[in-house]
Amino acid sequence: MRCSLCIYTIIFLFLNSVLNAQSGFIDTTGKMIIESNFATIAAFSEGFAATKIGGKFGYINTNGKVVIEPQYDVAGSFSEGLAVIKIGKKYGYADTTGKVVIEPQFDDARSFSEGLAIVKIGKKNGYADTTGKVVIEPQFDYAIGFSEGLAVARIERKFGYINTSGEVVIEPQFDDARSFSEGLAFIKIGKEYGYIDKNGKLVLEQQFGLFGPTKYHEDMYDFSAGLALTESRGKSGYIDKTGKIIIEPRFSAAKRFSEGMAVVKIGKKYGYIDTTGKVVIEPQFDDARSFSEGLAVIKIGKKYGYIDKNGRVIIKPIYDSVFEFSSGLAQVMIFREKKKITTRETDLKAVIECNAYGKPKNNVLSYKGKIIGKKEYIYNGSYLVKIKIFVNGRLVKTINCDEFERPQGPQYVKVTKAGTINTAHYFSSPKGIYEETTEYNKFRGNIPAQITRFYDTANEFVYW
C-alpha cells in the first residue's frame, strides 16, 4: 500500500527533529510565510498540513494558523477532503473541520483515491467509501489506490487488477505491477518488463538488459505527456505508447515528464528537456527535481533553490533541504551551525530548560531561600521558544531556545564550580537545588539534581 505521506516528507521530518535546523514554508517569491516552530510538520495538501503539538497531531492552514486542534495520535495528508487519523490503536478519517467522520475502526488505512480508500482489517486489505462503509471486503495481501478506475491487488504472490466493485478484471499473473497512467500500466513477468492495457493485454515490451531497470521505483516508468522512460546501454531516453523511440537514449540519467519538462543528466550536470527532446534549460545544476506548480528544485554546490521554466533562478540556493511546492508553499530548511555551549552557566541552564518535556511547574527565582525574581516562558503551541528572566522586576536576560542544539532523550550535565563543563550530556527534568557544590551532579534518590547559577551586575542567584 502506498503511504499517505510521501517519502520526502518522512525524511524532512526526521531531519527537522534530529538536526539543529531552522525550517519553515516559503511562497513562490521566496518570502517566508510560516516560520515552523512546531515539533514536526508535514507538507501541505489541499491547503492543510499535519503538525504535532504537545504529543498530538492537528492541522495548520497556509497562514500557519492552527485550524484543527491537536487531538489525534497520528494524522495524514488530506485527499478528496478527508485525512487518515489514528486514535489509540485504530485508524479512521477526519474532514477539513477536524470532525471524525469515519470512526477509528481499522488496523491501517490510506488516503482516498477516486472515492475509495484502502483499509486494513487484521492482515488483509480492502476498500471503504467516504461514508466508512467497507465496499470491497479485505482479502488482499497488498493493494494500491485506484487510478483510472482500476487498482493493483496481490493475491497469493501474484499481482492483478480489480475494478471499483471489487471484481478481478485482470487476473493475478504479474510478479510486479504499477498503477495505470494514460491508459497503460507498467508490469513485470519473470525478468521481463512491459506495459499492459486495461484488458490485460501486453501491448509494449521494455528492453532493460540483463539486470532490469537501473532506477526502479514507484512511478518512474509511468507514461506522462505520452512518453515513458526507456534505457539502452546505460543511457536513458523516451518512447511513445507504440514503443517507438521518440527521444534517443543519450542521457546519463532522466526522470519522467512533469508539466511538459523532464530532468536529464548530461555529463555531471542536470538540466531540462521538452517533449521533443530539445534541451530547454542547459545542464548546469548539481541536482534537479521535476517541476511542481511552475517551479523546480535545483542544487548548486551544497545548497538548494528554485528555478522557473525559463531556467531563471527565482529563489536563490541558500537552503540545505527543501520540498517541492504544494498549495503555493514549499518547506525549506537551513542547518544552523551548532552553537558551542559556553562555560556561562546561564547558557547551560537554558539548554536544559529548552529541551525539557512538559511545561515547568515552578518559575520562581531564588537566592539563599529568598525569592528575587521569576522566569517567563513563551510558547508556540507546546513548543518553548523563549525564556525571559526577571530579577527584582527587571528583565536581565532573554533566551532564544532555537539558538541551542536540541539533544535527544533523557540526559544530564556535569559542571565544575568554576564553570568548566566536564561532560555535555543533558537531562530533561531537573529536580532539587544545591547552593554550593563542587560538581553539579548530586542525586536525590535515583534522580540527578541540577543547579545553575545566574549572574547580573548586582547579584549572584540560583533558580530551578
pLDDT at 135: 98
Q: Is 198 exposed, middle or buried (0-12, 13-18, 19+ CB in 10 A)?
A: middle
- Compute the distance between CA of residue 174 and CA of residue 187 in angstroms, rounded to an integer: 7
pLDDT at 412: 36
pLDDT at 338: 46
Q: Please answer whether residues 112 and 138 qualify as being in contact, where contact means their C-beta atoms are separated by less than 8 angstroms.
A: no
Residue 99, C-beta contacts closer than 8 angstroms, at least 6 positions apart: none
Which grid coordinates are listed for 19?
A: 538536526
Over residues 396-407, the pLDDT tens digits come to 777 776 554 443
Residue 146, C-beta contacts closer than 8 angstroms, at least 6 positions apart: 113, 114, 115, 116, 127, 164
Q: Is 337 exposed, middle or buried (0-12, 13-18, 19+ CB in 10 A)?
A: exposed
Residue 348's nearest CA partner among 275, 454, 437, 258 is 454
Task: Pick the more confident residue, 132 or 372.
Answer: 132
Over residues 64-104, the pLDDT tens digits come to 899 999 999 999 999 999 999 999 999 999 999 999 999 99
Would you say residue 270 has pLDDT above 90? yes
Residue 314, C-beta contacts closer than 8 angstroms, at least 6 positions apart: 28, 29, 30, 295, 305, 306, 307, 308
Sequence-ordered alpha helix ranges (H) in 254-293: none
pLDDT at 219: 74
Task: Pick the more confident residue, 275 or 372.
Answer: 275
One DSSP character per residue, 294-322 reads TEEEEEETTEEEEE-TT--EEEEEEESEE
Q: Is 85 exposed, middle or buried (0-12, 13-18, 19+ CB in 10 A)?
A: buried
Element housing 369 (H / E): none
Would you say residue 443 has pLDDT above 90? no
**% of the chain with per-residue pLDDT over 70:** 69
| Cell 536513458, residue located | 236
Which region, left, alpha or beta, applies to residue 89 given φ > 0 means left and ψ of -120 to 50 means alpha? Answer: alpha
pLDDT at 394: 77
The 8 Å CB, 24+ separation contacts for 159-163 are: 159/187, 161/185, 161/200, 162/136
Task: Pick the more confident residue, 59 or 361.
Answer: 59
Would you say residue 448 has pLDDT above 50? no
Would you say residue 385 has pLDDT above 90? no
- Tell me how long the chain is: 464
Task: Pick the more confident residue, 53 or 315.
Answer: 315
pLDDT at 306: 98
pLDDT at 358: 52
Q: What are phi and psi of 451, to 5 degrees?
A: -135, 140
pLDDT at 368: 56
In our burial notation (b when 16+ CB lie closer than 10 A, e otherwise), range 127-149 reads: bbebebeeebebebeebbbbbee
Over residues 310-364, the pLDDT tens digits come to 999 999 999 998 999 999 999 998 876 544 433 344 444 555 556 554 556 566 6
Which grid coordinates are listed for 173?
A: 499473473
**Predicted model pTM:** 0.68
Over residues 4-24, the pLDDT tens digits come to 334 444 444 445 544 455 678
Please state which of the ranges 51-55, 56-60, 132-136, 445-449 shows the lowest mean pLDDT: 445-449
Q: Please answer whether residues 370 and 52 qualify as being in contact, where contact means their C-beta atoms are separated by less than 8 angstroms.
A: no
pLDDT at 220: 83
Q: Please answer whether residues 451 and 434 qualify as being in contact, where contact means their C-beta atoms are separated by less than 8 angstroms.
A: yes
Would you say residue 415 has pLDDT above 50? no
Over residues 155-209, the pLDDT tens digits come to 989 999 999 999 999 999 999 999 999 999 999 998 888 999 999 999 998 766 5
Average pLDDT score, the chain? 78
Which grid coordinates are listed for 92?
A: 479512521
pLDDT at 350: 54
Tell me if residue 163 falls in helix, strand or coil: strand
